[in-house]
């Protein structure tokens, strides 16, 4: 299930550490501005990548906010590439210190040509990895599943590149080009993902140093072309050069999730393609077919996030949500199961993030399931996890024929706006006290913008339509148009939906609609129905070796079989 709430990282770090406001224009500064800048005094002549640093020299920076260190950033020039001496390799390491959590660490690499233009590189953490490579005038950025193409022609349009918290990148942006008194304007590409943006800085000299005041709210002080300090007054963030050795830790990168049919499984697998609709992309999926003669009862599975593949693999960061364990068990128990890659995931075509669109995807998948030759179309069970349960409820309310049961696993029973605000409040409570008031105000403005169709922060632009449509869903009203029995399952260690309020709301709505309803509570299971002896939190989702609880799966299978009896 999607959890959109303030995590604290974007509030702790700002300016050079986050992408600047986006712009549509990617044109170079106007001729008059360029001419005026050329007449200004040259304050720093600029150097080539090969002359920027001695090979192996470490540049280290410390982040301090409100008197407390919150992170460090290192960078160094490794040297020219053996196979291509005109290309130069730079490395970065970043460590962010968040309250109550283990340090967040990442590493990166840039390969620059003789002119300082980006050739290729990567940004990597234990949770995710982005790679980027330049091909002619295009930069391709990939997370291993999706790819973003960005125009990149620094000879025509002055362009810089930066990654989140990589201060060496900002130093290179300034160190490799001449700095003249006046305005410096660049097109900025974020190597952490996101659309290009306009970067500008007012350059002046003061007390033997070069000062650059940027549109990101930074005051950068340089001496001899090196960053001495950065100060961001809006967030009381200061970044100082420090003498520290290169860190000894390494980042191996995210875990690669792979699926294998469980040992002893007797069902077969068959790929299917779900044709696109007027507004919906073509989807890829597979049908699991049990052993024995049909027709068999069937299950349509819809996962929680809307951003996972057919097995329940989501990310980055890579997380196994466990869907394959549930669908495999249903197929092994005699159900034909259809599971599919959500739009933009796995082998499915991309499409806008929209709850209405996701319901249409489920409807098309339902139609594909019914025409499978092994399926009895009058014995279909819908199973939805998290928000996938709301999609299944909406689907069933509009086409109830043939549906003999609806299983709602950790599904919100209250209006999603209420669930969302609870998630946000929980995230705010984890922030340092001095940041909570400002974050709460920001959150409230964002909710008002979503509901009113107004402008939202850039990081939520892709979620705004989905949120707006989700806020309009009223789960209780959907039950009035259902006729099939309902199974409600809930883990008591769930932090994404309220383990008391939401399942009770679902049961109450089902009873009001005079539907047969069964509620099962699981004392030590989390939102993914995996065993959780301690406190459930997002980081636990990333830990390998955790499996969906066998007793829960047995209960779900037994209930589904009872509904699907001929």
- Give pLDDT tens digits for 1-29: 544 332 222 223 323 333 333 333 333 44
Helix locations, 233-337, DSSP H:
323-332
Instruction: Answer yes or no: do 329 and 434 share one domain.
Output: no
Tens of pLDDT, residue by residue over 189-216, are 988 876 788 899 999 999 999 999 999 8
Instruction: Answer yes or no: do 165 and 56 share one domain.
Output: yes
Question: 376 falls in which pLDDT band (50, 70, 90)?
Answer: very high
Averaged pLDDT for residues 156-174: 94
Instruction: Answer yes or no: do 227 and 363 share one domain.
Output: no
Using the 8-state DSSP alphabet, how is residue 503 labeled?
H
Instruction: Answer yes or no: do 406 and 437 share one domain.
Output: no
Q: Would residue 251 count as lying in a domain?
A: no
Distance CA 144, CA 405 (A): 37
Instruction: Answer yes or no: do 129 and 28 share one domain.
Output: yes
Number of domains in the chain: 3
Averaged pLDDT for residues 170-190: 95
Res 434: pLDDT: 63
**Residue of 113, 185, 199, 188 whose CA lies nearest to 151:** 188
Using the 8-state DSSP alphabet, how is residue 482 labeled?
-
Res 38: pLDDT: 46
Do strands 486-491 and 403-409 pair parallel, antiparallel, or not at all (unpaired)?
parallel
Distance CA 525, CA 154 (A): 53
Q: Would residue 104 count as lying in a domain?
A: yes
Instruction: Answer yes or no: do 320 and 463 share one domain.
Output: no
Instruction: Answer yes or no: do 126 and 101 share one domain.
Output: yes
Q: Would residue 2 count as lying in a domain?
A: no
Distance CA 226, CA 204 (A): 15
Give yes or no for residue 30 having a pLDDT over 60. no
User: What are the tokens at 83?
Assistant: 């196979």
Distance CA 518, CA 526 (A): 19
Instruction: Answer yes or no: do 313 and 333 share one domain.
Output: yes
* CB-based burial label for 352 (10 Å; 0-12, 13-18, 19+): middle
Q: Would residue 345 count as lying in a domain?
A: yes
Q: Is the dihedral of CA 463, 466, 468, 473 positive or negative?
A: negative
Instruction: Answer yes or no: do 478 and 459 share one domain.
Output: no
User: What are the tokens at 41?
Assistant: 């005094």
Tens of pLDDT, residue by residue over 83-116, are 999 999 999 999 999 776 789 899 999 999 999 9
Q: SS3 of 321, please?
A: coil
Averaged pLDDT for residues 74-79: 98
Q: Would residue 252 count as lying in a domain?
A: no
Give yes or no for residue 277 having a pLDDT over 90. no
Backbone angles phi, psi at 181, to 5 degrees: -60, 135
Instruction: Answer yes or no: do 143 and 199 share one domain.
Output: yes
Question: Looking at 405, 437, 472, which one is the last position of a domain?
Answer: 472
Q: Would residue 49 count as lying in a domain?
A: yes
Instruction: Answer yes or no: do 327 and 380 share one domain.
Output: yes
Res 426: pLDDT: 80
**Residue of 446, 543, 493, 498 whose CA lies nearest to 6:** 446
Q: Would residue 258 count as lying in a domain?
A: no
Question: 512 falls in which pLDDT band (50, 70, 90)?
Answer: very high
Tens of pLDDT, residue by residue over 332-359, are 999 999 999 999 899 999 999 999 999 9
Which residue(s) pair with 118 in the sheet? 112
* Residue whose pair of structure tokens reads 């003061």 in the numeric block: 206
Q: In this predicted model, which residue has the larger pLDDT, 430 or 53?
A: 53
Q: Are 385 and 370 in contact (CB under 8 A)?
A: no
Instruction: Answer yes or no: do 494 and 556 share one domain.
Output: yes
* H helix and E strand count, the chain: 13, 27
Question: What mean pLDDT value characterizes the chain?
Answer: 88
Domain that holds residue 462: 416-472
Provide the CATH number for the domain around residue 307.
Answer: 3.40.50.1820
CA angle (541 as vertex; 535, 547 as ends), nearest 5: 95
Tens of pLDDT, residue by residue over 460-490, are 777 888 989 999 999 999 999 999 999 999 9
Q: Is the dihedral of CA 523, 524, 527, 528 positive or negative?
A: negative
Q: Would residue 523 count as lying in a domain?
A: yes
Distance CA 431, CA 307 (A): 27
């Amino acid at each position: 299930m999607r959890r959109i709430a303030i995590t604290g990282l974007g509030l702790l770090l700002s300016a050079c550490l986050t992408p600047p406001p986006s712009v549509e224009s990617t044109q170079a500064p106007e001729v008059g501005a360029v001419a005026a800048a050329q007449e200004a005094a040259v304050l720093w002549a600029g150097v080539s990548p090969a002359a920027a640093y001695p090979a192996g020299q470490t540049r280290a920076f410390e982040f301090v906010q409100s008197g407390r260190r919150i992170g460090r950033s290192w960078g160094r020039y490794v040297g020219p590439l053996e196979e291509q001496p005109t290309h130069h390799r730079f490395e970065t390491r970043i460590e962010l210190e968040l309250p109550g959590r283990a340090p967040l660490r990442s590493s990166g690499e840039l390969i620059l040509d003789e002119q300082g233009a980006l050739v290729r590189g990567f940004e990597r953490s234990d949770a995710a990895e982005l790679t980027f490579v330049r091909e002619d005038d295009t930069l391709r950025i990939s997370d291993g599943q999706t790819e973003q193409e960005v125009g990149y022609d620094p000879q025509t349009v002055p362009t810089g590149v930066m990654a989140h918290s990589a201060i060496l990148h900002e130093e290179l942006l300034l160190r490799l080009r001449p700095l003249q008194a006046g305005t410096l304007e660049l097109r900025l590409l974020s190597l952490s993902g996101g659309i290009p943006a306009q970067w500008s800085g007012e350059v002046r000299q003061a007390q033997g140093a070069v000062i650059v005041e940027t549109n990101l709210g930074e005051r950068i002080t340089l001496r001899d072309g090196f960053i001495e300090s950065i100060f961001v007054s809006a967030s009381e963030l200061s970044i100082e050069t420090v003498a520290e050795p290169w860190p000894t830790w390494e980042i191996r990168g995210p875990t690669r999730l792979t699926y294998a049919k469980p040992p002893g499984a007797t069902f077969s697998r068959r790929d299917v393609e779900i044709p696109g609709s007027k507004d919906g992309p073509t989807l890829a999926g597979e049908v699991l077919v049990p052993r024995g003669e049909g027709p068999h009862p069937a299950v349509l599975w819809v996962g929680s996030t809307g951003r996972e593949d057919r097995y329940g693999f989501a990310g980055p960061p890579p997380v196994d949500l466990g869907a394959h364990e549930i669908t495999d068990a249903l197929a092994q128990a005699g159900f034909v199961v259809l599971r599919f890659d959500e739009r933009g995931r796995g082998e499915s075509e991309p499409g806008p993030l929209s709850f209405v669109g996701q319901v249409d995807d489920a409807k098309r998948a339902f139609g594909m399931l019914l025409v499978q030759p092994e399926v009895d179309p009058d014995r279909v069970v819908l199973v939805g996890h998290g928000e996938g349960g709301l999609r299944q409820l909406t689907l069933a309310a509009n086409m109830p024929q043939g549906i003999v049961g609806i299983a709602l696993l950790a599904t919100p029973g209250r209006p999603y706006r209420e669930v969302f605000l609870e998630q946000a409040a929980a995230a705010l409570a984890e922030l340092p006290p001095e940041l909570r008031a400002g974050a709460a105000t920001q959150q409230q403005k964002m909710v008002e913008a979503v509901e009113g169709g107004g402008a939202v922060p850039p990081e939520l632009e892709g979620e705004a339509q989905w949120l707006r449509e989700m806020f309009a869903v009223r789960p209780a009203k959907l039950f009035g148009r259902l006729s099939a029995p309902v199974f409600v399952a809930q883990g008591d260690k769930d932090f994404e939906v309220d383990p008391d309020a939401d399942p009770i709301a679902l049961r109450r709505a089902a009873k009001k609609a005079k539907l047969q309803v069964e509620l099962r509570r699981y004392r030590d299971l989390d939102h993914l129905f995996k065993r959780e002896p301690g406190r459930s939190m997002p980081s636990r989702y990333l830990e390998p070796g955790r499996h969906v609880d066998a007793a829960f799966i047995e209960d779900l299978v037994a209930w589904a079989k009872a509904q699907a009896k001929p």
